[in-house]
Amino acid sequence: MRAAHAVLRHEARLMASLVLWAARRTDGTGVRFGYARGQGAMVFGLGFVCVTETIGMSVLLRNWPAVHLVVLVLDVYTVLFVVGLHAAAVVHPHLLTADALRVRGGVRLDLRIPLDAIRSVRRDTRYLHGRTATAELDVPVGSQTSVTVELAEPVAHFTLLGRRREVRVVRFHADDAGDLVRQLVAARELTRA
């Protein structure tokens, strides 16, 4: 039951992201760092395939109106879901505030890292092809991360279904990784002063 609730909450937040995206609004305050640019072409390609499939199924099922209606509703929802994934990435950017870095992954991840918990940060492009160590969290876009943050103390990460995991290294993608690293280093210096 708890898993079903988490999935329904995720779906509702995806649809809310569509509304925010249409209104050209973002969620959260602070310095924003986008990460959606790297996935845009792939998501819109997938959306095109879904729309093509919707049209094809409409033609194939035109003689069975009840089945056609059910499949049409499912297909339209699938298109909304795919576009919602991209919208969630656009409207939920990474955020740098006065006291923390929030690493985000659409609506499925929002990890708050206090600035004083960060040991080091660097621009580090990696292509991921498998599982990582248990104390590491990878938040890739297109199987790629561009920033690595090493922590002095572990931070709790909660999965979509609520499972807790302590992480000491966080790798994520940012469209302008160099700027994020520069501003994060400067913000850390301010908190130490």
pLDDT per position as a tens digit, 54-110? 999 999 999 999 999 999 999 999 999 999 999 999 999 999 999 999 999 999 999
Q: Which CATH number characterizes residue 116's domain?
A: 2.30.29
What distance lies between CA 107 and its chain's CA centroid?
A: 6
Number of domains in the chain: 2
Residues 85 and 100 in one domain: no
* Shared-domain flag, residues 26 and 109: no
For residues 98 and 65, membership in a common domain is answered with: no
Q: Domain check: are 49 and 128 in the same one?
A: no
Q: How far is CA 106 from the centre of its chain?
A: 3
For residues 18 and 39, membership in a common domain is answered with: yes
Calculate mean pLDDT across residues 171-176: 95
* pLDDT band at residue 25 using 50, 70 and 90 as cut-offs: very high
For residues 76 and 120, membership in a common domain is answered with no
Nearest to 121 by CA among 188, 54, 70, 71: 188
6 and 75 part of one domain: yes
pLDDT at 1: 75
* Local structure of residue 77 (DSSP, 8 states): H
DSSP bridge partners of 139: 172
Verify that 10 and 80 share a domain, yes or no.
yes
Q: Are residues 112 and 154 in the same domain?
A: yes
Last residue in a domain, options 71, 91, 111: 91
Phi (first) and psi of residue 73, to 5 degrees:
-60, -45
Shared domain check, 45 and 106? no
Tell me the residue range of the domain where 72 lies.
2-91
User: What Å distances lie between residue 49 and 8, 66, 68, CA to CA?
Assistant: 25, 24, 18
Domain final residue, candidates 58, 91, 124? 91
**With 90 as the cut, is the pLDDT of residue 2 above it?**
no
Q: How far is CA 89 from CA 4, 37, 156, in A?
A: 23, 9, 22
Confidence of residue 133 (pLDDT cuts 50, 70, 90): low
Helix (H) or strand (E) holding 1: none
The reported pLDDT for the residue numbered 89 is 94
Identify whether residues 37 and 100 lie together within a single domain: no
- DSSP, collapsed to helix, strand or coil, labels residue 112 as strand
Q: 108 and 25 in one domain?
A: no
- pLDDT above 80: residue 164: yes
Are 96 and 172 in contact, with CB atoms under 8 Å apart?
Answer: no
Q: Given a cut of 80, is residue 130 above it in pLDDT?
A: no
Residue 148 has pLDDT above 90, yes or no: yes
User: Which of 91, 125, 159 lies at the terminal end of a domain, its last residue?
Assistant: 91
Whether the per-residue pLDDT at 132 is higher than 70: the answer is: no
- Average pLDDT of the segment spanning 30-55: 92
The answer to whether residues 102 and 111 touch, using CB atoms and an 8 Å cutoff, is yes
What angle, 0 to 180 degrees and rounded to 10, lies between the N-to-C axes of helices 2-22 and 65-91? Answer: 70
Report the C-alpha gap between 110 and 23 in whole angstroms.
22
pTM of the model: 0.87
User: Tell me, what amino acid is at 41?
Assistant: A
